[in-house]
Chains A and B, each alone.
Chain A
Amino acid sequence: MINANKIVGDYDIVLITLDTLRYDVSQQLFKEKRLPQLQKYLPESGWEKRHAPGSFTYASHHAIFSGFFPTPIDQPKQERLFATQFAGSETTNTNTFTFEQATIIDGLKAKGYHTACIGGVGFFNRRSALSKVFPSMFDESHWEDRLGVTSPFSTKYQFQKAEEIVQQNQQNRLFLFINISAIHQPNYFYQQGAKEDSITTHAKALEYVDSQWEILMNAFKGRPTLFLLMGDHGTAYGEDGYNGHRLAHEVVWNVPYAEFLMNEK
């Protein structure tokens, strides 16, 4: 288990939410070796199956930003990496970085981190009061059309933006948050000839994200970094009559999770 107290201050921290990514799809692709780039960093068993803290982006991210990452299914009381001080918390221990502030972002700011946000789905586009809530939490935030859900190349541009941010923060410890938008609907364009989103195009979207992964890894080359990857919620493609998310179904609440260190000190 990673001791977050040995990370904070000495490592960059990259928190990535793979918006809408389902556990079953991500693990299937891992088993079929269709994620050749991510596979280099994931454990041999692949993605960890966890329960999302919410059933849609807004709810989940409020929880995630306060340290409530998706919950381990087999050990729901497993200690968390980051936690805001909360009397009676049963999921913190000596490995948990505990902060006074209400969010990880403010907690890390207080420790001298420069915080940056790269959106993302609509909740990060700053086009309404609601969609300014998350970006406003960070020292800097970025969103433009080509980073959003309708851009087939969003991940490439998101990771290139990350490269810029890293370059501009050579002297700073960085907390970088990226909300990957590619997998969120619409994703039909990742399958040649497809006219509608489906579980197949959802998988193709993840393959696209994987193909761009090295851009991000190269950006952090040589910098000690903790990477946290997680789905914020899944989505339904007709299972039991359900479509979409913000609903309670196992394809929505089961999400993938992974964490790893790069350039360990």
Chain B
Amino acid sequence: MKSLPKNIKCLVFDLDNTLIDRDKAYSTYLEKAFEFVNQPNIWTEHKATILEYDNKGYRSRDTFYQWLISKFIHQKLFEEFQKKYVVGDFVEKIDTSILQFLAELKEHFHLVLLTNGGNHNQQKKIVNSGLFKAFPPTSTFISGDYSFEKPNPLFFHLIQMEYGYTPDEIVMIGDDYDKDIKGAHQMGWKTIHLNPTETKESIADIQINDIQEIANYI
């Protein structure tokens, strides 16, 4: 079995669909939005189509919302909803065993969160999921606080600059092959790809299906 080098000091985690179930929270967010605009039946009827078009968040939000408004949802009321709520409001507390697992990892490694998204939304996700215990603000980097995001090398370089780690001392753990894995790989970081759909010809050092499998490699 592969294992990571012994000199690893820092584990950098992605947030959405790596540590929290973003898709579930997003589905709840849309359900509440349709209730808010008094169109709950449309959600019931077209939920599968809408979530398929969302494509686990990989589609640009501008494109997705333009499509949603043009086909299904009342624009002005939806905009009102968006002013009141963010997806992070609907994130559930993550499994206690994962929080315990992160607490154990923290005894041996520096844990850092590197996430794309707006500050307010991502902060809500971190708080509501309970992840703030593992990732204090000093170890949390949200792209909305900068003018760049993953896979821009600058966002990864920021971690090196902030803590003084060399690339071979850092591991990136994430679900997004292009943003997390390729982004970190280009910096010379080790990578752990969570939930890979395609396991062949991956540049990831390790592929896992469950976040707690990390324990097998360190």
Contacts and interface: CB of A to CB of B under 8 A. Distances in A.
Interface of A: 146, 151-153, 189-190, 192, 204, 207-208, 210-212
A212 B154 CA distance: 15
Contacts of A212: 146
Given A146-B161, A153-B158, A192 B147 contact: no
B148 A208 contact: yes
B147 A152 contact: no
Nearest to B144: A211
B161 A153 contact: yes
B154 A152 contact: yes
The residue in A151, A189, A210 that gathers the most chain B C-beta atoms within 10 A of its C-beta is: A189
B154 A207 contact: no
A216 to B, nearest CB: 13
Interface of B: 145-148, 152-154, 157-158, 161-162
B154 A190 contact: yes
Smallest CB-CB A-B distances: 9 pairs? A211-B147, A207-B147, A208-B147, A192-B152, A211-B146, A152-B154, A153-B161, A153-B158, A189-B154
A11 B141 CA distance: 33
Contacts of A151: 161
Contact of A204 (B145, B147, B153, B161): B147
A124 B147 CA distance: 26
B51 to A, nearest CB: 30
Given A152-B158, A192-B148, 6 more contacts: A152-B154, A152-B161, A153-B161, A192-B153, A208-B146, A210-B147
A208 B145 CA distance: 9
A211 B158 CA distance: 14
Contacts of B148: 190, 192, 208
Contacts of A190: 147-148, 154
